[in-house]
Amino acid sequence: MYAFTLAPLFFVYFETACFLASFLVALPMTAAGRTGNSGIGISTPHSFSGLYHSCSASAVGEIERGAALVLETLARYNAADFMSPQPPTNVLTVVAIVGALVLAWYLYQIGSRKKETIRYKLRRAVIAMVVYLIMAIVLTKQALPPLEAVVVSALVGMGSAWLLVRPPTRDRRIPKAVRRQVIARDLTSKGLRWDPAKHHIDHVVPFSRGGDNSARNLRVVEKQKNLRKGSKMPGFLDFLK
């Protein structure tokens, strides 16, 4: 297969080299013929054409001999297996599926630690969509242009959601029962004791990003580590620890 692929390319290069060689050889003959000092008994155009065609003929002969050698080699093996490529594995599909599963797992870990915020946003989205659809139908029947109907309906829908669904009241203070549960899980069960000067109770999903005060979203960490983290969202590896 490689020989058949490279043979035309080799022929093109060889043909070009023959043309240049014949041109360079014929050039001095042309100059000598013009000045009348040529002592060669072959006219310049014939010498140029003869060199070029002799090189071309030799190139064709080399290509034919190479093709015959390749055919002889293929005859010794199973040509069908040699020349038919195996269907490649669709690696991109596998990578995409694995990536989607990993992303879904990560989003689940985040969502399960901010349920109250997600429920609030879902309620707003549902109210906004219902009001939008009702307004769009009404305004369309009133022969309002489609673009204006869409804009007005969207504004009314978002306004209604903002008025009807109020954000939940959130308290950063951790309930005592949850606090004791987290300390018992992360320290007492491992034979360690709570030290306020050394330990902090950290929100895995930061409270400012919608994280709740559930035991699932809380953990005991070192004070300096918690201060360095700040309000950063957890990474993928944080849920594997």
Half-sphere exposure of 39 (CA within 13 A, CB side): 0
Q: Give me the helix-helix angle, 146-164 and 115-141, nearest 10°.
A: 140
% of the chain beyond a pLDDT of 90? 47
Average pLDDT value over all residues in the chain: 77
What pLDDT does residue 126 have?
96
Q: Which residue has the tokens 């000067």?
A: 197
Taking the CB of residue 92, how many other CB atoms lie within 10 A of it? 8
Quickly state the pLDDT bin for 84 (edges 50, 70, 90).
low
Span of 83-92, 108-117, 172-181 with lowest mean pLDDT: 83-92
For 102-152, the pLDDT digits (tens) are 999 999 999 999 999 999 999 999 999 999 999 999 999 988 898 999 999
Between 42 and 133, residue with greater pLDDT: 133
Per the structure block, which two tokens stand in for 41? 């008994």
pLDDT at residue 195 tops 60: yes
Per the structure block, which two tokens stand in for 90? 């669709």
Between 166 and 77, residue with greater pLDDT: 166
What pLDDT does residue 241 have?
73
Between 49 and 88, residue with greater pLDDT: 88
For 20-29, the pLDDT digits (tens) are 444 444 444 4
pLDDT at residue 174 tops 80: yes
Give the domain ranges of the chain: 2-83, 108-164, 176-239
- Conformational region of residue 143, where left means phi above 0, alpha means psi within -120 to 50, and beta covers everything else: left
Beta bridge partner(s), residue 219:
202
In this prediction the pTM is: 0.57
